[in-house]
Amino acid sequence: MLIGEYTHSIDDKGRTSLPAKFKGQMGQTVIITRGIDSCLSVYTVDSWKKLTEKLLENLSITKTSDRDFNRYMLSGAVEVSIDKQGRVLIPNNLRDFATLDKKVVWTGVGDKAEIWSEKKWTAYLAKNTKNPEQLASALEGVI
């Protein structure tokens, strides 16, 4: 399971280091795509396969919102190899989408990781950690 929060840099070529805690869990190839909340989602090949199978099984080609979500997730996806230094190259279009600059935050969220611009992550935390009781109450009956 991927957990934690790690701040890293992006070099001029668009490469960022995978957090050391994630390296053994993610394999040599990952899938990076547009995420929700203006971040990038990073999946292992296995977790990506499970997600896409669910999408293709459960979403209808006749429903506009289902087609739109499939396009959003799948058309933005790219398979990326992790280099010998443990870095991934984030394509320009995905860096632009997430407005990634020199500093990024990797977050582990279970079966995937996310890559956030440091500014957006800080703003997200400021907004969403003010009232943990409210977040917990939304999960009542789930955990």
Domains, the chain, with CATH or none = 2-118 (3.40.1550.20)
pLDDT band at 72 (very low <50, low <70, confident <90, very high): confident
Structure confidence at residue 143 (pLDDT): 62
**What does the alpha-carbon distance between residue 63 and residue 45 come to, in Å, rounded to a whole number?**
27
**What does the alpha-carbon distance between residue 72 and residue 84 come to, in Å, rounded to a whole number?**
31
Which residues are paired to 108 by β-bridges?
4, 113
Query: Buried b / exposed e across 45-79, counting CB within 10 Å, b at 16+?
Result: eebbeebbeeeeeebeeeeeeeeeebeebeebbee
Please give the structure tokens belonging to residue 126: 């400021």
**What does the alpha-carbon distance between residue 130 and residue 112 come to, in Å, rounded to a whole number?**
25
Q: Is pLDDT larger for residue 70 or for residue 37?
A: 37
**What does the alpha-carbon distance between residue 100 and residue 118 come to, in Å, rounded to a whole number?**
8
pTM here is 0.90
> Closest Cα partner for 90 from 22, 11, 7?
11
**What does the alpha-carbon distance between residue 42 and residue 12 come to, in Å, rounded to a whole number?**
21
**What does the alpha-carbon distance between residue 143 and residue 140 come to, in Å, rounded to a whole number?**
7
pLDDT band at 142 (very low <50, low <70, confident <90, very high): low
Please give the structure tokens belonging to residue 60: 């209808």
Residue 55 has pLDDT above 90, yes or no: no
